[in-house]
Amino acid sequence: MIEYRGEQFSGYNKPKRTPNHPKKSHVVLAKEGDTVKLIRFGQQGVSGSPAQKGESASDKARRASFKARHSKNIAKGKMSAAWWSSVTKW
C-alpha cells in the first residue's frame, strides 16, 4: 500500500473509484520515470461507455466522439486525466 497526501493506493498507475468525492469519479497515482502525480478524472455520476461486447451503434458513436473530442489530451500520455479517462471509462 502506498499513502500519498492522506489517501491509500494499491500501487502506482492503478486507478480507483472515489464515490465520496464531490466532482471526480476516479483517482490514480500516476508515475512515469521519477515523476509522481495525483490525477483525479471522470465526472461523478456519469457511467462512461458501456462494455464493447455487443454494443449498439449509438454506444460506438458515443465512444468515438469522446476519443475524437479529447484526442489531443489523450495523446499527452499517462500524466494526463484524459488518458486515464480514455483507458478506464471509455
Over residues 26-80, the pLDDT tens digits come to 999 999 999 999 999 999 988 777 788 888 999 899 999 999 999 999 999 999 9
**pTM of whole model > 0.95?**
no
Number of residues that this document lists for the chain? 90
**Mean pLDDT throughout 4-13?**
94
pLDDT computed for residue 90 by the predictor? 87
Domain that holds residue 59: 2-46+55-89
pLDDT computed for residue 47 by the predictor? 78
> Domain tally for the chain?
1
Note the Cα 1 to chain centre separation in Å.
Answer: 20
